[in-house]
Homo-oligomer: A and B are copies of this chain.
Amino acid sequence: MKVAVPPLYKDMHNYISADLIVVSDWVGTLAFALSGALLGVRKQFDLFGILFLSFVVAVTGGVMRDVLIGALPPAAVTNTHYFMLSVGAGLLTFFWYPRIVSLQKQILLCDMIGLALFSVIGTQKALEYGINPLMAAILGMLTGIGGGMARDVLAREIPFVLRADLYAIAALAAGGIVSVGHVIGLEPQLPMLSGAGLCIFLRLMAIYRGWRAPVPRWEDK
């Protein structure tokens, strides 16, 4: 099942502008790390706990994907830039928390880009490792939302991503489009761009128009 594949980012040269991918990857990592650091400050973790939480949010999704497709060691272990970015985000938040909080809107935007990109890249990487399209889309979603889930479990909150704002649905939609593109034989560029676009659109609608997934009609038993 597992096939040797060249590193994703190299392949990406053939898909979409590699620069765009790299920049978005950095932006997304930074946004995820900031969201971890902000929660760490709110929960009064110490400096180290804050840096750790930043790193966990930035990499957990990708690590889960890599473990599940058998791509070991995971990209977050073989590359050091995820760690560097996370530490940078954690330090920024530790020393300039009020300033970072005032940028929440911008961070939310970066988070959106990160979610979109992580989900489409995650799906594409799973497909390249020979995972079937359905589960590849789900692994893409997991790449996008895994960090947020880990953040909330460690900080003892019910994972936000399971409750609000179309977060996971947007990630799955992005992955689904990449998988459909793969099934009907398209080159990956267009599905990846469309998937990322749909993900961002859904998140924008959730935030500014209040779109929600249906909640159960039933009272707590």
Contacts and interface: CB of A to CB of B under 8 A. Distances in A.
Interface in A26-55: 40-50, 52-53, 55
Contacts of A129: 73
Interface in A102-141: 129, 131-132, 134-135, 138-139
Contacts of A78: 1, 131-132, 135
A16 interface: no
A50 to B, nearest CB: 7
Contacts of A94: 214, 216
B80 A44 contact: no
Interface string A209-221: 0001111111011
A49 B166 CA distance: 10
A131 B214 contact: no
Contacts of A98: 218
Nearest to A153: B153
Chain B CB within 10 A, most for which of A1, A131, A135, A139: A135
A43 to B, nearest CB: 7
A183 interface: no
Nearest to A149: B154
Contact of A162 (B45, B67, B101, B159): B45
A48 B80 contact: no
The 7 closest A-B pairs by CB, nearest first: A70-B72, A49-B162, A46-B213, A97-B218, A41-B216, A47-B213, A48-B213
Contact of A68 (B72, B131, B139, B214): B72
A2 B66 CA distance: 15
A194 B80 CA distance: 25
Given A47-B215, A135-B77, A154-B158, A63 B53 contact: no
Nearest to A101: B221
Nearest to A214: B47
Given A47-B213, A72-B69, A218-B41, A80 B132 contact: yes
A157 B43 CA distance: 13
